[in-house]
Amino acid sequence: MKTPAPLSIGGREFRWGERTYVMGVINVTPDSFSGDGLGDDAEAAIAQGVRMAEDGADLIDVGGESTRPGFESVSVEEEIRRVVPVIEGLRRRIDIPLSIDTYKPAVARAALEAGASLLNDIHGFRADPAMARLAVEFAVPAIAMYNQRDRPFHDVIGNIMGGWQESLAIAREQGLPEERIILDPGFNFGWTPEQALEMLSRFDELRQAERPLLIGTSRKSTIGLVLGLPIGDRLEGTAATVAITIAYGADIVRVHDVREMARVARMADAIVRGWQRQEES
């Protein structure tokens, strides 16, 4: 299958197939499923982002509304109030690209104006096609996630591929070329645990989309169910899912524990993509 062409994000070139990129997660919410919600503490969120950059993050994804099952939506104004100071603060402190995790165009616009350079839409433009138009207006790439919530189930890979085609069609209608889209299969977004595990075991089949692939398994409930462990004790389970999906073709892994998962990614890349010994000077 064809390797997608390199993509510029925030002035940095991402060359797919050469190594795995690590996206750190910052939740500026009081109710994050992962137990890391920072509420209104913008300074704590900025400090967390700086640590992630130091620990090896290639991108940082900032979100102001929880998307856990049964989440309560917050107002556009509240979401903007949460994310904009963090994005502005991170933009002053670090030079890696920042992503805004939202499906609301007004929030996305405020985040892009504050310094974000990537859109991350958990509805893949289906909730509001204006998200794709914003990517065109600001000349930024976008992540289109497939969301299985409230959709009929037929087959794990078939559902994902069909949903992605819907997202890509919306993007084309709004003038956003496929070459500027990263795809995410939406691990744990509306899937049973068995279906979520099947997604990972068949992840290599998703490469037929011929777009960069992002996966976000970090600390999620399927890992907790398999291991019988609470949210704060799922590091090894997350590491297993990261290594497996890298072996099956993931290009970006979205994680909470950046230092540890960056090491997992480097080791997996050495096995999957090859490794060269660095000569001592």
Three-state secondary structure call for residue 253: strand
How many C-beta atoms lie closer than 10 Å to residue 104's C-beta? Answer: 23
| 220 catalytically annotated | yes
**Residues whose CB is less than 8 angstroms from the CB of residue 63 and which lie 6 or more positions away in sequence, other chains included:** 25, 26, 27, 28, 29, 83, 100, 101, 102, 120
How many C-beta atoms lie closer than 10 Å to residue 245's C-beta? Answer: 26
**Cα–Cα distance for residue pair 252/20, rounded to 1 Å:** 6
**Cα–Cα distance for residue pair 113/235, rounded to 1 Å:** 35
> Is the distance from CB of 82 to CB of 29 less than 8 angstroms?
yes
| 273 catalytically annotated | no
Q: Which two tokens stand for residue 278?
A: 């660095």
User: Which string of DSSP letters, residue by residue, matches 123-184?
Assistant: TTTSS-THHHHHHHHHT--EEEE---TTS--S-HHHHHHHHHHHHHHHHHHTT--GGGEEEE
**Cα–Cα distance for residue pair 98/140, rounded to 1 Å:** 11
Q: Which of 211, 219, 220, 234 is an active site residue?
A: 220
Q: Which residues are catalytic?
A: 220, 254
